[in-house]
Structure 1
C-alpha cells in the first residue's frame, strides 16, 4: 500500500509543479491528492501514528483521531492567514500603500535599487513576502518607465522579500507554520536568522548596484495627479501595528497566534468602518445590511481574499500530514541523514547534517516550500528553538529565490512584469544563489562561534 501512497503523492506533486504547463490551478491536484491519500489509508486500514515530540517516537492511533488532530493544526494556520490577508486588503482599500510611494524621492538608480530592496526586506517581515512583492512592483511600475531597469529591480525585490520573510514569524507561510507548530519562538528566530537574512539580500543588492545598469539617474515617472485617500496613512500604520502586535499577544497570553490575529482584525475593521462611515454587521444577512455591506471596506476586503491559496494550503498540508501519520517522513529523514556527509553539530541526541537543510533550501526552488516545511516538521523530532528549525526557516524561505517559480513572490512578479523564466535564470538566479550561500555561511558562523560560544 505504501507504493500506492507514494505514487499518488508523486503524481500530485508533479501536477502542482507543472501547473503552468498543464494549465490547471495547483489547488485542484492538491485537494485531490489529499483526499485520495486519506481515502487509501482508511479503505485499506493502514496503521497510523501520532508523533510524541517528547519521547521522539510514534504512537499508534486511529484514522479519525489523527485526521482531526491534523485538521486542527492546519486550521490554525489557515485562520491566521485569513486574518492577515483581510487586514492587508483593508489597507489596500484605503490606498494606504500609496504612502510608501511618497517616501521615494531620489532619481539615482543605485539609491532606488537599495530603497526597493530594503523596503521589500522590511515590509515582507510584516505583511508577508507575497503581499510586499505585489505592493512594491505596483509602485515600481508607477515610478520607473525603463522596463529593463524595472526587471532587474523586480528580481532583487524577489530576493529581498523572501529574505525578509524568513526571519519573521509572520513574514512567510513556511515560517508561520514553524511558529504555529511551536518549533520556533519569535525572539530566538530573530536572534538566529535576522543577520543571515540581511546577508542574503544585501550581498546580491550590493553586487548589482555596482553594475553599469545602475549608474546615473532614472527617468522618474511621478504621477502628481493622484489624490491620496484621507485615511490611507492612518490605516497603513494601524494595520502594520496590528499585525506586529500578534507575536506580542502570543508571548504574553500563550494563546495560539490566530487568536491574536482575530483581535487585530477586529480592531482594524472597526476603524475601517468608522472611517468609511458605513454601518455594517458581519453576522447579519438581511437585505438592508447587505446593501450597506456592498460598500463596506470589511466586506470588500473579505471578498478579495485569495481563497484558491487557502484551499491549496489545506490540501497540501493535510496531504503531507498523511505521510507523517504513516511514519514515512521519519524513514525519509533517516535516509537523508544516513547518506548525506555529516556537517553540523549534534543536538539533543539527534544529529542532522547541515547539508540536509541546504538540500531542502535548494529543493524549494523547484518544489513548493510549503510541503517541504510541512514534511520537515514531521521528519525531525528535535525540540522547539533548536537551531535546526531556524536553519530550515532560513533555507526554505530564501532558497526559492533561485528560480522565479520557486516562491510565491517570484510567481506573482513573473505575472505582473511578464518576466521570462530563462531571463531570470541567466540574470538573477546566480545572485539569489550568492545570497543564499552568504546567508547560510553567516547562519552557521553565528550558530557555532557566537551563540554557542
Structure 2
C-alpha cells in the first residue's frame, strides 16, 4: 500500500522540471489529459479496434506542439524546448534504428525459411505445447543477456507464431513467458537491457557487479513461467510427417544468420569499445546484409531483395515507440517525472526503487531510469542494483511496459494484446515480488554481492 500511495502521489503532486514548473499551467494540465486519454486508447485498442500506434503518435507529437504554443503565447525563449527535443530525437533514433535493423533481419530470416526450418525441427520431434513453452522461455532468458531483450523477444515471438498461429491458450502464455524471460535475462547483463546499460555506463557498478542479479532475475522468471505453464495445453501441435513437406533453409539463409550474429557483436563493440551508439553497429550490420544480397545475386543468381523485406517490417511498432517515448519526454519536460526521484529523501530508497518497477511498466523504463540517474541520489551498490533490477523486470507487468513487450505485440497482433496480457498479469506480479524477496535476502541479509 505504501508503494501504491507513492505512485498516486507521483501522478497527482506537482513538481518542477528543468528549473521551471509548468504542471500548474493550462499546458501542463492539458498535456496530462492528452497523455491519459492516449494511454487509455492504447490500452483498449482491442475494444475500439484502433492500432496502438495511432493514439501514441498523436499524443507524442501533440504534447510538444502544445508546449510550443504555450511558449509562443507567453513569449518564452524556446531554447530549452529545442534542446530537450533534440536530445529526445537522439534517444528515439537509437531505439528506432536498432529496431529497424533487427526487424529487417528477422524478415529476411523468415523469407529464407529459417524459422520454418526451426519450427519443423521442433514440431517434428513431437514436443508438446508445454515443452515448446519452456524451450522458448529458456532460450529467451539466456539469449537476451547477449543479444539484448528486444532482439531476443522479436526472434522468439516469430518462432512462436511460426509454430502455432491460432491456439491462444498456447500463444498468449508463451508470448508473456518470452517477454518476462527476455526482460529478466537482460536485467543481469550490462548490455542485456538499455536500463542496465545506462546504469553501467553511468558508473553505478562494475561489469561483473550486475551478474549478482542473476538469482533474483532467474528465480522470479522461473516462478512466473511455472504459473503460466499451468494454463498451457498438454497436447501437441498438429504434425503429420506424411503430409508435412520437409523444410530446408534457402540459399544464403545460414550466411544471414552469421551476419546477424556479427551485427549484434558490432552493436555491442560500438557501445563498449568505441563509445558509439549501439544502433551504429546495427546499421553497419544492415550494410553487410545489403552487400551480401548484391553478391548473392551476382554470383549465384539468387534474389534477396532487402528493400522488399524492409517493406514487411512492423512500421506501426516503430511509430508506437516514437509516440510513446515522445509523450513521456514531454511529461518529463513539464515536470511530471521528477517527483519519483524527489521521494528518495522522504520515503527511502528501497520503497522508491520498488515503485520504480511499477512506474516503469506505466511510462516506460528508459525515461524513468534516466530521471533516477540524473537526480543521482546517494545510494550504495545494493540499491543501484535494485533499481536496475526493478526497472528492467518491472516493464513486464504491462504488455507495452517494455521494448520487448511492444515488439511481441507487433509480431502477435490481435493475439498478444493489453487485455490478454492483463489476464495473466498476476503471474508476472508474483515473479516480480519474489525477485524482490530474493534480492533482499541476498543483498541486505546475506550481503552476497
TM range (shorter): 0.7 to 0.9
Aligned to 2:64: 34
CA contact (8 A) 1:168 1:175 kept: no
Which of the pair has the greater relative contact order for Cα pairs under 8 Å at 6+ separation?
A: 2
1:252 paired residue among 273, 276, 284: 273
Q: Which residue is 2:34 aligned to?
A: 12
- Distance in 1 between the 2:384 and 2:319 partners? 26
Say whether 1:262 aligns with 2:279: no
CA drift at 1:131 = 1.0
TM-score, normalising length from structure 1? 0.73
Distance 1:219 1:66 in 2: 51
**Equivalents in 2 of 1:84, 1:409: separation in Å?**
10
Number of the residue aligned with 2:413: 415
1:115 Cα deviation from its structure 2 partner: 0.9
Q: CA separation in 1, counterparts of 2:448 and 2:196? A: 26
TM-score scaled by structure 2? 0.73
CA RMSD, 1 decimal: 4.0
Measured after TM superposition, the shift of residue 135 of structure 1 is 0.9
The yes-or-no answer on 1:314 pairing with 2:322 is yes
Structure 1 distance, partners of 2:411, 2:219, is 22
1:243 Cα deviation from its structure 2 partner = 1.0
SS at match of 1:267: helix
Q: Which runs of 5+ in 2 are unaligned?
A: 1-21
Instruction: Compare 380-389 and 250-259 and name the one that shifted more.
Output: 380-389
**Aligned mate of 2:389, from 379, 394, 413:** 394
- For 1:252 and 1:385, how far apart are their aligned partners in 2? 27
From 219, 242, 250, the equivalent of 1:229 is 250
Alignment of 1:155-174 (within 5 A): 155-167=176-188
Cα distance in 1, alignment partners of residues 237 and 311 from structure 2: 37
Compared CA separation, residues 303 and 248, structure 1 to 2 (3 A): same
Alignment partner for residue 300 of structure 1, among 296, 308, 316? 308
- Aligned counterparts, 1:9-88, within 5 A: 9-14=31-36, 15-19=38-42, 20=45, 21=47, 23=50, 25=54, 26-41=56-71, 43-45=73-75, 62-88=80-106
Q: Distance in 2 between matches of 1:297 and 1:116?
A: 29
Q: 1:182-219: CA deviations, max 9, x gaps?
A: 5778935852444433223222234555x59666x625
Alpha carbons of structure 1 residues 71 and 161: separation in structure 2 relative to 1, 3 Å: closer
Structure 2 CA distance for aligned equivalents of residues 147 and 324 of structure 1: 38
- Retained in 2: the 8 A contact 1:42–1:63? no
How many corresponding residue pairs?
Answer: 405
- Using a 3 Å threshold, how does the CA distance of structure 1 residues 254 and 414 change in structure 2: closer, same or farther? closer
* Partner SS for 2:250: coil
